[in-house]
């Protein structure tokens, strides 16, 4: 008989998805909140089992690129997800709001936008706003960079 599952319940996993947590972050949160370590694949299987797989918001207006998995935890990507959540009136805690506001101020003060090159080891780059290729207020370059 298989051992009992040690992953989080459906409600907790759904909450973490709504907070746009990665599976790696869910592994860490499971250990912090419940005191036991699970694998990333256990989290992935639980998401499938509970019918939650594929339900992560993508925020395509804010993240129009196909993200290379090696860049999945990059800070600019996390910030753009927060921006997407705010843009869709989803919940942000105070820490997230402060982090996003600080980032937006820095981007404006320095005249930067975010560009992305999936083939570059760094992936995300802060580039001059003159390279913005759309009229939206979102601080990104939609076209992929080729660094």
Can you give the pLDDT at residue 56? 62
Please check whether residue 138 is in contact with residue 83, taking contact to mean a CB–CB distance below 8 angstroms.
yes
Domain boundary assignment for the chain: 10-49, 69-131
CB atoms within 10 A of CB 16: 22
Please check whether residue 123 is in contact with residue 71, taking contact to mean a CB–CB distance below 8 angstroms.
yes
Q: CA–CA separation, 62 vs 102, rounded Å?
A: 18
Q: CA–CA separation, 52 vs 14, rounded Å?
A: 7
pLDDT in tens, 96-125: 999 999 999 999 999 999 999 999 999 999
CB atoms within 10 A of CB 59: 19
Please check whether residue 57 is in contact with residue 105, taking contact to mean a CB–CB distance below 8 angstroms.
no
> What average pLDDT score do residues 53-67 get?
83
Strand-pairing partners, residue 124, are 116
Can you give the pLDDT at residue 3? 56
**3-state DSSP assignment of residue 24:** helix
Please tell me the pTM assigned to this model: 0.67
């Amino acid at each position: 008989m298989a051992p009992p599952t040690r992953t989080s319940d459906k409600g907790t996993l759904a909450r973490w998805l709504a907070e746009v947590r990665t599976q790696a972050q869910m592994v860490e949160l499971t250990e912090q909140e419940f005191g036991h370590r699970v694998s990333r694949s256990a989290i992935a299987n639980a998401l499938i089992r509970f019918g939650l797989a594929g339900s992560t918001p993508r925020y395509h207006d804010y993240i129009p690129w196909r993200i290379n998995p090696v860049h999945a935890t990059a800070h600019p990507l996390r910030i753009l997800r927060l921006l997407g959540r705010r843009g869709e009136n989803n919940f942000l805690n105070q820490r997230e709001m402060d982090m996003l506001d600080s980032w937006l101020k820095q981007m404006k003060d320095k005249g930067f936008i975010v560009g992305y090159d999936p083939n570059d080891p760094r992936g995300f780059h802060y580039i001059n706003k003159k390279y913005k290729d759309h009229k939206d207020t979102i601080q990104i370059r939609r076209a992929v960079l080729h660094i």
